Amino acid sequence: MAERRVNVGWAEGLHARPASIFVRAATASGVPVTIAKADGNPVNAASMLAVLGLGAQGGEEIVLASDAEGADAALDRLAKLVAEGLEELPETV
């Protein structure tokens, strides 16, 4: 299973707009991805309610994971999005 550990770059954490940006990127990746707090249970990264339910704060470590084909590239893109706290979806997502 491919995995990326990254700190949340959005100051407000994965709430509202940042969560929406992340969920759209996870969905657009085309591979099933899970997201979890470093000490928590993984949830579907393409589910807005699940991502909001994590309550991930700015600077907190999260774990992105997938065992699908193409997972490494998808996780790299998602990790960059989260770490940099991007306000728009990158064109490559």
The catalytic residue among 2, 9, 15, 52 is 15
Active site residue 36: no
What does pTM read for this prediction? Answer: 0.91
User: Which CATH number does 2-84 carry?
Assistant: 3.30.1340.10
User: Binning pLDDT at 50, 70 and 90, where does residue 91 land?
Assistant: low
pLDDT tens-digit profile of 21-75?
999 999 999 999 999 999 899 999 999 999 999 999 999 999 999 999 999 999 9
CB 59 within 8 A of CB 8: yes
In eight-state DSSP terms, residue 88 is S
8 A C-beta contact, residue 22 and residue 87:
no
Segments making up each domain of the chain, as ranges: 2-84
Task: Indicate whether 92 pLDDT > 60.
Answer: no
Buried b / exposed e along 54-92 (16+ C-beta atoms within 10 A)? bebeeeeebbbbbeeeebeebbebbbbbbeebbeeeeee
